[in-house]
Structure 1
Amino acid sequence: MRTKAIRTAGVAAAVLLAVTACGGRADDGGTVGQGDCRGQQTTGITDTSIKLGGIYPLSGPASAYGELPKGVRAYFDYLNAEHGGIDGRKVEYLVRDDGYQPPKTVEETRRLVEQDQVFAVFQTLGTPTSSAVWDYLNQRKVPQVFVAGGATKWGADDKHPWTIGWQPSYRTEARAFAQYVRQQRPNATVAVLYQNDDFGKDLLTSFSEAVAGSGVTVVADQSYEVTDPSVEAQVRNLAASKADVLLNFSTPKFASQALAAEARNTDWNPLHIVSQVANTISTLKPVGFANVQGVVSAAFTKDPADLQWEADPAMRGYKEKLAKYAPGADPTNQYTVVGWAAAESFHKTMAAAKCPTREGLRDSMRALNQVGVDLLLPGITLTTGADDAFPMEAVRIQRFEGDHWVLTGDVIETGK
């Protein structure tokens, strides 16, 4: 029934947009600029403001991601206060909670688009939740900018031109893990814990493809549902395989449980690899730092807990401005960093748009040319093109040592 409702809304939206395009006026009655911009959508944007909406799991099993919009809001508040916004337009950022439940994502997205009349949806978090609304947003021709998730389809699907991801795809991440395992343990057996949705399956499939024909073999896998209370049973089953490597493709709550369960099993000591979506200190600390030494993950942003960035001007500026505009936010939380970096990415993408319209933003987000973002790791920039909707296609491997992550090796470019 939800699918039918979304489809019906999309048809109605298509009619409305056809009228808008013919009349050269926006949904809210505002006119567009001249020249090539005439007739394009200006809902949610004026000469002095731009209204954005974001949807995150502020509650529920993935509530750890609630730190991410704190970084986004802090960046926009800083931008508004000290730079007058984006090209003189102050950013109004509306955040909604979907509890990591796709039906709620649909409800909140419709609210943002139809009631609040946002210019764009900047970040929906999660693969199942973002998937629930990308048809609707593309039917309405509303930009779904920099989805907070690495599903490969955000960059590989040509039927959703109004949607684009941001972070390195799960395919990129899985290929990097595969390269690392092949180098470190060329004849390894591998066990996999994964979330039973596109997020977990994307990582598992991509890793399996990347090790095909090598000495590395996946010998066991266990899935879990986001509604499960625990993954203890799955980890016990994987331990029975005595695999050399454990791939922990989980969101924070379950990743932490798996780390703890593996640490308690003194008869099994695999190389434990954690997906980058769950590698924050807040995930590791409850397990005890002594129990997560040598755990491996991937990174694409600078780590505020890593002393090598202590004198970095971008990191110092981030910490200073975060303390001023979001005094309750934890500057060392990696999700806060990601939110700040994603907001800067939006800022630069919107500023580069040829037209201050939804169409202008859509075109700009697919025409990024080695755009630098201050908190991304050196060597990682944003680049897209007509046939390339993957802004980032590189990561670095990192290993947990002491009380922080330590980068190892060079930037790994994996392609689409």
Structure 2
Amino acid sequence: MKTSASLIHNSQKSARMRGYGKAGLLPGVLLVAALLGGTVHAVAADLPGVTATEVKIGNTDAYSGPASAYGVIAKTETAFFQMVNDQGGVAGHKINFISYDDGYSPPKTVEQVRRLIEEDQVAFLFQNLGTPTNTAIQRYVNQKKVPHLFISTGADKWGDYQHFPWTMGYQPSYRTEAQIYTKYMLKEMPSAKLGILYQNDDFGKDYVTGAKDILGDKYASMVKEASYETTDATVDSQLATLQAAGVDALMVGATPKFAAQAIKKVHDLGWHPKMFFMTNVSISVGAVMAPAGAENGIGIITTGYMKDPTDPAFKDDPGMNEWRAFMAKYMPGVDMTDGNYSFAYGVSMVMLQVLKQCEGDFSRANVMKQAANLHDAYDPILLPGIKVNTSPTNFHPIKAMQLQKWDGKTWERFGDVIEGAS
């Protein structure tokens, strides 16, 4: 599957090849100039993915497969760049957003990203979805020196600017999130037996690592782990094992399909853990809580950094009303309780800010430079007090979160905004 925000995409191979020889050397030269603080006036004809009138941006998402609930993110981003184009583009350039389905399968992601970089000749990548899928392409895109920006996963490793200077995350770290849950558990239930159900990849393992950070030597005696594979049909047996182990505090690091299963199964087992923590990437009302049974999840605790579309407190919020107006025009008729739509709009606004800061120089080096130079960038979906900031030594744009609890209809925030768990 391919979606595009522009119909002006030209895929003639001969045209690509004529410009490729010059483009191969240019990014390194531009990066040196940028690091030295120099101004580079890019010649569009010599830059991958850039012409005098167009900038190509590449993306992969799970339109199918076990994480297909996230497919609406790229669909929203496609609509967002159509809006940008309708408003005249950026610095005289229309945005050609090319998005392919990878089915949340790392080998397919590799295939599609090579296609985007080597055939479509995109200028850079934006919002590629998934921890295992991005892990499969991270080394390749860094070797190619292609900006790999604001990727749609909160794995802690996306902030490793020293080893992977072309890759940058966006949302808060899963590891930090797990630290916050564990500290809260210790405060409220110091003798708890913690069970962790996690996806067996870097996404899920960040929750294990975060709990270990806090518990230290006590981890082995206080925690029971159970993992699952994305190819598993259900997580029923894992949850039954955790219940049998006497777990009274449960932490789940799972994608939406398995998160909804977990909520429903815990209820069906008649299990009532005193605390139930759910990863903040699987708390969409439309994609998780409603399918699981809204009543089944009452009392679940998560962290939030975005405004919940179902929260009455944001009924008249200017930022949310901006998003609602966009949705009414460009994506009418969709499930407005699904926070994935609002997330996509917010992160796209930050990407737009990067493009504006480029001031017409869309070389890969300058795009990366501007992505690492954000100061309170505008994301209308973020909770009050949470900001987007980056620097050459900070590739974690969002660090703050707030605890919240499911009441059967919406997520109720409590406590202060927390940045990290130290």
What is the alpha-carbon distance in structure 2 between the residues aligned to residue 22 and residue 120 of structure 1?
12
Mapped pair 1:45 → 2:50: yes
Q: Evaluate the alpha carbon distance shift between residue 19 and residue 150 of structure 1 in structure 2; reply closer, same or farther with a 3 A threshold.
A: closer
Q: Deviations over 1:277-334 (max 9, x none)?
A: 1111121112211111011111111111111001011111111111111124322211
Mapped pair 1:99 → 2:103: yes
Q: Which residue identity does 1:377 align to in structure 2?
A: L
Q: Deviations over 1:228-286 (max 9, x none)?
A: 11110000000012222100111111111111111112254331111011111121112
Q: Which residue is equivalent to 2:148?
A: 144
- TM-score normalised by length of structure 2: 0.87
Mapped pair 1:387 → 2:393: yes
User: Are the counterparts in 1 of residues 198 and 205 from structure 2 also a CA contact under 8 Å?
Assistant: yes
- Within the candidate set 291, 313, 334, 2:296 is matched to 291
Q: Which residue identity does 2:95 align to in structure 1?
A: V
What is the alpha-carbon distance in structure 1 between the residues aligned to residue 225 and residue 117 of structure 2?
40
Mapped pair 1:211 → 2:240: no
Match of 1:174, SS state, is helix
- Within the candidate set 219, 235, 240, 2:239 is matched to 235
Q: Evaluate the alpha carbon distance shift between residue 240 and residue 268 of structure 1 in structure 2; reply closer, same or farther with a 3 A threshold.
A: farther
Match of 1:158, SS state, is coil
Please report how far the alpha carbon of residue 38 of structure 1 lies from its aligned counterpart in structure 2 after TM superposition: 5.1
- Within the candidate set 139, 145, 148, 1:135 is matched to 139
Q: Percentage identity across aligned positions?
A: 36
User: Are the counterparts in 1 of residues 354 and 367 from structure 2 also a CA contact under 8 Å?
Assistant: yes
Q: Which residue identity does 1:399 align to in structure 2?
A: K
What is the alpha-carbon distance in structure 2 between the residues aligned to residue 18 and residue 56 of structure 1?
27
Q: Which residue is equivalent to 1:55?
A: 60
Q: Which residue identity does 2:408 align to in structure 1?
A: G
What is the alpha-carbon distance in structure 1 between the residues aligned to residue 39 and residue 224 of structure 2?
59
Q: Which residue identity does 1:179 align to in structure 2?
A: K
Match of 2:349, SS state, is helix
Please report how far the alpha carbon of residue 216 of structure 1 lies from its aligned counterpart in structure 2 after TM superposition: 11
Q: Deviations over 1:84-143 (max 9, x none)?
A: 222332211111000011010011001111111111111111111001111111111111
Q: Which residue is equivalent to 2:415?
A: 409
Match of 2:414, SS state, is strand
What is the alpha-carbon distance in structure 2 between the residues aligned to residue 35 and residue 269 of structure 1?
58
Match of 1:311, SS state, is coil
**Larger displacement relative to structure 2 (38-47 or 400-409):** 38-47
**Larger displacement relative to structure 2 (154-163 or 233-242):** 154-163
Q: Evaluate the alpha carbon distance shift between residue 38 and residue 325 of structure 1 in structure 2; reply closer, same or farther with a 3 A threshold.
A: closer
Please report how far the alpha carbon of residue 335 of structure 1 lies from its aligned counterpart in structure 2 after TM superposition: 0.8
Q: Evaluate the alpha carbon distance shift between residue 111 and residue 306 of structure 1 in structure 2; reply closer, same or farther with a 3 A threshold.
A: same
Match of 1:165, SS state, is coil
Q: Deviations over 1:27-82 (max 9, x none)?
A: xxxxxxx953458962112343211111011101111111111221232222222x
Q: Evaluate the alpha carbon distance shift between residue 331 and residue 37 of structure 1 in structure 2; reply closer, same or farther with a 3 A threshold.
A: same
What is the alpha-carbon distance in structure 2 between the residues aligned to residue 147 and residue 166 of structure 1?
6
Q: How does 1:132-211 map to 2 (within 5 A)?
A: 132-211=136-215
User: Are the counterparts in 2 of residues 263 and 291 from structure 1 also a CA contact under 8 Å?
Assistant: yes
Q: Which residue is equivalent to 1:331?
A: 336
User: Are the counterparts in 2 of residues 219 and 241 from structure 1 also a CA contact under 8 Å?
Assistant: no
What is the alpha-carbon distance in structure 2 between the residues aligned to residue 265 and residue 209 of structure 1?
31
Q: Which residue identity does 2:373 align to in structure 1?
A: A
Match of 1:330, SS state, is coil
User: Are the counterparts in 2 of residues 299 and 397 from structure 1 also a CA contact under 8 Å?
Assistant: yes
Please report how far the alpha carbon of residue 218 of structure 1 lies from its aligned counterpart in structure 2 after TM superposition: 3.5
Q: Which residue identity does 1:114 align to in structure 2?
A: E
What is the alpha-carbon distance in structure 2 between the residues aligned to residue 179 and residue 255 of structure 1?
22
Q: How does 1:342-357 map to 2 (within 5 A)?
A: 342-353=347-358, 355-357=361-363
What is the alpha-carbon distance in structure 2 between the residues aligned to residue 35 and residue 194 of structure 1?
47
Mapped pair 1:276 → 2:287: no
User: Are the counterparts in 2 of residues 67 and 329 from structure 1 also a CA contact under 8 Å?
Assistant: no
Q: Which residue identity does 1:113 align to in structure 2?
A: I
Aligned pair count reads 393
Mapped pair 1:318 → 2:318: no
Please report how far the alpha carbon of residue 19 of structure 1 lies from its aligned counterpart in structure 2 after TM superposition: 5.2
What is the alpha-carbon distance in structure 2 between the residues aligned to residue 91 and residue 368 of structure 1?
21
What is the alpha-carbon distance in structure 2 between the residues aligned to residue 325 and residue 125 of structure 1?
22
- Give the ranges of 4+ consecutive aligned residues of structure 1 lying more than 4 Å apart after TM superposition: 15-19, 22-25, 38-41, 213-217
What is the alpha-carbon distance in structure 2 between the residues aligned to residue 218 and residue 48 of structure 1?
59
**Larger displacement relative to structure 2 (155-164 or 294-303):** 155-164
Q: Deviations over 1:326-347 (max 9, x none)?
A: 1243222111111111111101
What is the alpha-carbon distance in structure 2 between the residues aligned to residue 249 and residue 22 of structure 1?
38
What is the alpha-carbon distance in structure 2 between the residues aligned to residue 53 and residue 275 of structure 1?
27
Q: Which residue is equivalent to 2:308?
A: 303
User: Are the counterparts in 1 of residues 88 and 94 from structure 2 also a CA contact under 8 Å?
Assistant: yes
Mapped pair 1:375 → 2:381: yes
- TM-score normalised by length of structure 1: 0.88
Q: Which residue identity does 1:168 align to in structure 2?
A: P
Runs of at least 5 residues in structure 1 that lack an aligned partner in the other structure: 1-14, 26-33
**Larger displacement relative to structure 2 (392-401 or 156-165):** 156-165
What is the alpha-carbon distance in structure 2 between the residues aligned to residue 107 and residue 213 of structure 1?
42
Please report how far the alpha carbon of residue 370 of structure 1 lies from its aligned counterpart in structure 2 after TM superposition: 2.4
**Larger displacement relative to structure 2 (108-117 or 69-78):** 69-78
User: Are the counterparts in 1 of residues 180 and 421 from structure 2 also a CA contact under 8 Å?
Assistant: no
Match of 1:351, SS state, is helix
What is the alpha-carbon distance in structure 2 between the residues aligned to residue 185 and residue 205 of structure 1?
20
User: Are the counterparts in 2 of residues 211 and 217 from structure 1 also a CA contact under 8 Å?
Assistant: no
Q: Which residue is equivalent to 1:365?
A: 371
What is the alpha-carbon distance in structure 1 between the residues aligned to residue 192 and residue 220 of structure 2?
5
Match of 2:65, SS state, is coil
Match of 1:391, SS state, is coil
